[in-house]
């Protein structure tokens, strides 16, 4: 079994990379998309607000998103399914908790951590562009909040550590492919 998770700020390109992985390995992984969980919760009271980090329900929605995500990880691990978790995974302690939860269920799981390390200036530009397009400051506020919380990942956190700079996605696919071939 493989548990693959992305680490990086919002707008760094994690979801784009996950889509490339899913295209290359269409039946190999089940994907847990934190943004989808978060957006779904924002349609339900008491989680509704302006969907910004300053919104009245932001922290509650974040907590429930985390709990739902962790439940799905455990359920899929019990079934032995290869998992991609597309999420920011900003804090080291939360990443470690998820890895340990999967290892408790599947001790020989292969853990992939992909650090999507897009330059902060590029992420800030993307945030500004989106905010200008939408007429608000949601993405810039999120960027500032995440910068404060982010623990840079290290290779010791996973069996396979990939430092992706946003340019050579084919090498990421190749590394995953090598491990999947060994699984067969």
DSSP 161: E
Shortest CA distance to 118 belongs to which of 136, 143, 99?
143
- Within 10 angstroms of residue 113's Cβ, the number of other Cβ atoms is 23
Phi, psi of 179 (to 5 degrees): -70, -40
Residue 53 confidence (pLDDT) above 60: yes
- Say whether 156 sits in a helix, a strand or coil: helix
Looking at residues 60-77, what average pLDDT do you find?
A: 93
Count of positions (residues) in the chain: 184
Residue reference for tokens 């390995």: 25
User: CA-CA distance, 96 to 8, in Å (whole number)?
Assistant: 15
Shortest CA distance to 179 belongs to which of 164, 157, 159?
159
Q: If pLDDT is split at 50, 70 and 90, which confidence band does 184 have?
A: low
Instruction: Mention every residue, 6+ apart, whose C-beta is less than 8 A from residue 156.
Output: none
Q: Which domains are assigned to the chain?
A: 2-183 (3.40.50.300)
Q: If pLDDT is split at 50, 70 and 90, which confidence band does 108 have?
A: very high
DSSP 137: -
For 121-180, the pLDDT digits (tens) are 999 999 999 999 989 889 999 999 999 999 999 999 999 999 999 888 999 999 999 988
Element spanning 2, H or E: strand 2-7
User: CA-CA distance, 164 to 6, in Å (whole number)?
Assistant: 10
């Amino acid at each position: 079994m493989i548990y693959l998770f992305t680490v990086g700020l919002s707008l760094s390109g994690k979801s784009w990379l996950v889509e490339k992985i899913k295209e290359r390995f269409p039946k190999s992984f089940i994907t847990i998309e934190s943004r989808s969980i978060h957006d779904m919760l924002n349609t339900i009271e008491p989680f509704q607000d302006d969907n910004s980090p300053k919104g009245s329900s932001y922290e509650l929605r974040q907590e429930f998103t985390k709990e739902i995500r962790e439940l799905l990880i455990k359920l899929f691990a019990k079934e032995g399914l290869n998992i991609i978790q597309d999420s920011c995974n900003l804090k080291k302690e939360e990443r470690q908790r998820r890895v340990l939860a999967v290892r408790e269920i599947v001790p020989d799981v292969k853990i992939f951590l992909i650090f999507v390390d897009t330059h902060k200036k590029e992420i800030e530009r993307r945030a500004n562009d989106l905010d200008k397009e939408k007429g608000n400051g949601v993405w810039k506020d999120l960027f500032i909040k995440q910068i404060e919380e982010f623990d840079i990942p290290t290779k010791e956190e996973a069996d396979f550590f990939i430092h992706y700079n946003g340019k050579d996605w084919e090498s990421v696919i190749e590394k995953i492919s090598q491990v999947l071939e060994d699984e067969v």
